[in-house]
Amino acid sequence: MPVELARAKVNLCLHVTGRRDDGMHLLDSIVVFPAMGDVLEAEFGDSLTLKIDGPFGEELDAGADNLVIRAARMLSDRGAALRLRKNLPVASGIGGGSADAAACIRLLSDMWDIDGPSLEELARLGADVPVCMAQAPTRMSGTGEKLVPIPSIPTFWIVLANAGQGVETGAVFGAITSRDNAGLANLPESFPEVSDLFDFLRGQRNDMQVAAIEICPIIADVLSALDNTQNCALSRMSGSGGTCFGLFYNEKGATAAAMDIRENHSDWWVVSAEV
Distances (CA, A) of 31 to 75, 126, 170, 206, 228: 26, 16, 20, 12, 24
Which of 9, 28, 38, 207 is flagged as catalytic?
Answer: 9
DSSP structure string for 167-236: --HHHHHHH-S------PPPPPS--SSHHHHHHHHHT--BTTHHHHHHH-THHHHHHHHHHTSTT--EEE
Query: Measured on CA atoms in the order 133, 135, 140, 143, is the torsion positive or negative?
Result: positive
CB-based contacts of 195, cutoff 8 Å, min separation 6: 249
CA neighbor of 94 nearest in space, from 238, 201, 234: 238
The residue annotated as part of the active site, out of 28, 38, 100, 128, is: 128
Per the document, the length of the chain is: 275
| Bridge partners of residue 43, in order along the sequence | 81
* 128 carries an active-site annotation: yes
Cα(236)–Cα(249) distance, integer angstroms: 16
End-to-end CA gap in the chain: 26
Rg (CA), the chain: 18
Give the residue numbers annotated as catalytic, written as ranges. 9, 128
